Structure 1
Amino acid sequence: MIVITPVPGEVTGHAAQMYADDVAEDGFVFAHTAALATNPEAHAAFENLLRAIVPSIGLRTYELATLGAARAIPSPHCLLAHGRNVLRADVLDEQTLAQVARGDDSSLPAQDAAVVRYAESLSTHPETMTDADTQELRDNGFDDRQIVDITLAAAARNYLSRALRALAVPIDEVPGISPALREALIGSRPLT
């Protein structure tokens, strides 16, 4: 990792809460949490952004936009973390999640597949996006506020995923992800 991260036991405020949340849920502090704890105010702002996005689109659509963006980048950190979130929230079953992680959206309902495609386009070639991209979301039942929030969800994932990659944050083993699903989500990338 490029940055020296705050030492557990020496952090206070929001950074201390970030560490405590990881330990309470998984028994250790994730490397990405430690990196983000270097600027806890930015992490808090990011969390506030997500809290402003999710209510209009719901957790399912947020996670699908996140998955589409993380798959496109690709972001092993976010694919693992949000893959687990998708399973825990019962957004997708493990088999469908593995298919989507591999780029096969055929088992998704049309509305979900449109969200994943939109997030993927935003993450790979935003300069080619046109009104047709937002029209596909509109045709699948999303209103203007939801389209903005789907866009923000995918863009937020790009921001965080690209920051973690630029900082060379190690990929942690994420509890609750089977070896087969891990392989589908991130392939054979080493946990370094």
Structure 2
Amino acid sequence: MDETGFLRPPDPTDDTQRLYEEDIADLGYVMNLTRLWAHQPATSDGLFDLMRRSLADHGITPRQRAVLVAACASAFGDSYCSLAYGTRLADAAGEQTAAGVLRGDDDGLTGVERALAGWARKVARDPNHTGERDVQALRDAGFDDTQIFAITVFVALRIAFSTVNDALGVRPDAPLGAKAPPAVLGAVTFGRPVSA
């Protein structure tokens, strides 16, 4: 069951059709993860709304958001979001920089972005071992405590999203794998393989 992972396709409803049509309008195809989350469209809508609101009005740029997700997803071992956001980061910062972030090498990032990537990895790998020094690194990069809270909530929500996708066997879409730059594709050596 490649398209929806380990679950059978959800029963068709107006809400599942809406999710599918949104993907087709945006991407030209229905993502595998959308087919999974179509089991509970309201939960999907709520989670994505919460992720958007967690960073709204906190000055986080799209490039910084891509850094957060690429660093978090790769540290967590999620191939789907690593490919998606590695590709977005490649568009914004270059293919080699994006591949580096996915491998844990932040040399191509600014100091602020390095602080974000480091924090995202710590939250994804072992949140019980973060400390005041880790938070201070974000303050030193220019983030205030409200922004640090927002960034942490966003990363935690991304982990929740990835956990559901990974646990239920959803594989990255074939078009996503085809679109990923070669260096990004080569850096994602973990998680579930791209769909056939």
Q: What is the TM-score normalised by the length of structure 2? A: 0.87
The corresponding residue for 2:41 is 40
Report the residue type matching 1:84 in the other structure.
T
The corresponding residue for 1:139 is 140
**Are the aligned partners of 1:6 and 1:38 in contact in 2 as well (CA < 8 Å)?**
yes
Report the residue type matching 2:69 in the other structure.
T
Report the CA distance between 1:80 and its aligned residue: 1.2
Q: 1:183 aligns with which of 182, 186, 189?
A: 186
The corresponding residue for 2:89 is 86
The corresponding residue for 1:100 is 101
Q: Residues 189 and 160 from structure 1, CA distance in 2 versus in 1: closer, same or farther, beyond 3 angstroms? A: closer
**Are the aligned partners of 2:73 and 2:82 in contact in 1 as well (CA < 8 Å)?**
yes
The corresponding residue for 2:164 is 163
Cα distance in 2 for residues equivalent to 1:160 and 1:182: 21
1:2 aligns with 2:6: yes
Report the CA distance between 1:188 and its aligned residue: 9.2
The corresponding residue for 1:118 is 119
**Are the aligned partners of 1:101 and 1:185 in contact in 2 as well (CA < 8 Å)?**
yes
Report the CA distance between 1:187 and its aligned residue: 5.9
Structure 1: runs of 5+ lacking an equivalent:
none
Cα distance in 2 for residues equivalent to 1:69 and 1:186: 15
The corresponding residue for 1:63 is 66
Q: Which moved more, 1:28-37 or 1:172-181?
A: 172-181
Cα distance in 2 for residues equivalent to 1:43 and 1:50: 11
Report the residue type matching 2:124 in the other structure.
S
Report the CA distance between 1:171 and its aligned residue: 2.3
Report the CA distance between 1:5 and its aligned residue: 2.3
Report the residue type matching 1:17 in the other structure.
R
**Are the aligned partners of 1:73 and 1:124 in contact in 2 as well (CA < 8 Å)?**
yes
| Percent identical | 30
